Amino acid sequence: MSLPQKIGFIGTGAITDAMVRGLLAKPAAVPHVMVSMRSTEISAALAADFPQVLVSSDNQAIVDGCDTVVLAIRPQIAEEVVRPLRFRDGQAVISVVAATGRPALLDWIGADVRLSQAIPLPFVARRKGVTAVYPPDTNTAALFEVLGNAVECETKAEYDLLAAASALMATYFGIMHRTTAWLAEKGLPEEKGRAYLAPLFAGLAETAERAGKNVDFIELSRDFATRGGLNEQVLRDFSDKGGPDALTQALNHVLKRIAGQ
């Protein structure tokens, strides 16, 4: 396994910003980074913050100048951006473009590259992101291990399932929001609700992470649901009112969309 000597990003938006900041946080994990000029503000800020960053207005120059190329443009324009580029056989290409399958990417790339797909999350900026990688690739996994953790998927089905799970982020904050809104309706100032809920959820997330991958989450749920207690009551009410069913249906629905690509 080895980390890239020169990694280039086609598309310098939110996720490139997060990845570059994570990779170049001290101690820097890679020696050279090239980013495309767009978005101008983000690329200028990256170049100002890190001497290792070179900005180019020419996407082909990035492909030519780097051993590893990350495709980080929106799916709607991916074909028109990628098709004209000339890649080298054997070059490493990592696509983080959502909703765009491997066959289409390989067709647009038009060379025998080592293509991986990945789903980085914004927390890679703090080296705390968990990233699904497909197919398993030691170098791509090593890159995302620097940025937190990598989970390698043996099949597209596994990768699609993790993509579906990653779509829960807005719902997570939605639960926090609904709770602070309810607290406010009942008379607790919203900022007090937020000051209470953020550390509560952080503590729960840390408990799950510390428990490790062999502990079933239902065991943690039971640990926190004292018999006859308040947590047990809320969990029962939530289940009786269809909470878990709504979650399952939402996951099935988004999986259908993801797997249809």
Q: Which residues bind ligand NAP (CB under 6 A)?
A: 10-16, 36, 38-39, 59, 72-75, 77, 81, 96-98, 119-122
**Spatial distance between the Cα atoms of 44 and 53, rounded to a whole number of angstroms:** 9
Nearer to ligand NAP, 80 or 206 (CB): 80
CB of 11 to ligand NAP, least distance (A): 3
Nearer to ligand NAP, 121 or 183 (CB): 121
Q: Is 236 exposed, middle or buried (0-12, 13-18, 19+ CB in 10 A)?
A: exposed
CB of 124 to ligand NAP, least distance (A): 9
C-beta of residue 66 within 8 angstroms of C-beta of residue 114:
no
CB of 36 to ligand NAP, least distance (A): 4
Nearer to ligand NAP, 29 or 71 (CB): 71
CB of 166 to ligand NAP, least distance (A): 8
CB of 242 to ligand NAP, least distance (A): 30
Nearer to ligand NAP, 11 or 22 (CB): 11
Identify the bridge partners of residue 100 per DSSP, sorted by sequence position. none
CB of 260 to ligand NAP, least distance (A): 16
* Backbone angles phi and psi of 122, in degrees to 5: -55, -25
* Long-range contacts, stretch 157-163, CB < 8 angstroms, 24+ apart: 157/259, 158/134, 159/117, 159/119, 159/132, 159/134, 160/255, 160/258, 160/259, 161/255, 162/119, 162/132, 163/98, 163/119, 163/132, 163/258
Structure tokens at 32: 């050279």
CB of 220 to ligand NAP, least distance (A): 27
- SS3 label, residue 23: helix
* Backbone angles phi and psi of 93, in degrees to 5: -125, 130
Nearer to ligand NAP, 38 or 102 (CB): 38
Nearer to ligand NAP, 24 or 96 (CB): 96
**Spatial distance between the Cα atoms of 113 and 71, rounded to a whole number of angstroms:** 13
Nearer to ligand NAP, 101 or 122 (CB): 122
C-beta of residue 152 within 8 angstroms of C-beta of residue 137:
yes
